[in-house]
Amino acid sequence: MAIYHHISLVQTPSGVMPSYTASPEGPGPYPAILVIQGQGGPGITEFLAAERLAEAGFVGIVPDLFHRGPLCTTRDELQHRRRAMSNVDIIADVNATIDHLGQQSFVSGRFGIMGFCMGGRVSYMMASRNPAILAAVDCYGGGVFEQDGPGPTPFETTADIGCPVLILDGEKDESPSPEQVGRIVAELERLGKVHDVHIYPEVGHGFMSPNGPRSRPEVIEDAWSKILDWFGRHVAAEPVAAER
């Protein structure tokens, strides 16, 4: 499927937030998936995810949650920016992105969310914060038990989750650890939330990265088959299949 790329300027309470958008070519409308960055900021993993979603018939959008303040030019600056963020800022940015998408004629009004590392935490959190989200995918989201600013932790809002949640993680991950994932899954089960979880054996954190020592190509392909099936069943008006 041919895809079209552009940079969106999303209006947030803190100013304009650049966002990378990949969509199927043509007027649509298409369902949309938010792709949330890891703690290193929007990068190749998120951009390729948006493109893969577009190839499968979704609009993929990557909002830059680090848009507040001057441009970061070092890893230390990125880490400082991450520590300065709060749940309040993140929720406002994600909600603004959904509002922006809702105003686009090529978007159908059906939304999902996915994320990597920090973005997995955001996806889990937003599943309980915005009823427009129809499905969430948490890829090795660390910090679900941690508090960023005022308000409850993402784990503490599990009872408010209003959509199906898919969790993908590695057996050797430490953030979250298999034990932490087990606690999350037990809580989802206790509360009767629709969910699925897959722990890949002999795999650590960051396995969805397209390059580097943590990358696991065979796991990436299997994970994407699960992700596209999840969004196809829960977000698309009709099931969609990837065209690779």
In a domain, 243, yes or no: no
Domain count, the chain: 1
**Reported pTM:** 0.92
Tens digit of each residue's pLDDT (9 = 90 or more) over 49-64: 999 999 999 999 999 9
Tens digit of each residue's pLDDT (9 = 90 or more) over 125-153: 999 999 999 999 999 999 899 887 778 99
DSSP 97: H
In a domain, 218, yes or no: yes
Would you list the DSSP string of 200-242? ETT--TTTT-SSSTT--HHHHHHHHHHHHHHHHHHTSSS----
Tens digit of each residue's pLDDT (9 = 90 or more) over 7-47: 999 999 999 999 999 999 999 899 999 999 998 889 999 99
Specify the pLDDT at position 189.
97
Specify the pLDDT at position 244.
30
Residue count of the chain, please give it.
244
Ramachandran assignment for 212, one of left (phi > 0), alpha (psi -120 to 50 degrees), beta (any other): left
Residue 237 clears pLDDT 70, i.e. is over it: no
140 within 8 A of 60, measured Cβ to Cβ = no
In a domain, 21, yes or no: yes
> Which residue segment(s) compose the domain that 127 sits in?
3-234
In a domain, 156, yes or no: yes
The Cα–Cα gap between 107 and 32 comes to: 6
Q: Label residue 70 by pLDDT band (50, 70, 90).
A: confident
DSSP 194: -
Tokens of 10: 């999303």
In a domain, 67, yes or no: yes
Q: Report the CATH number at residue 26.
A: 3.40.50.1820
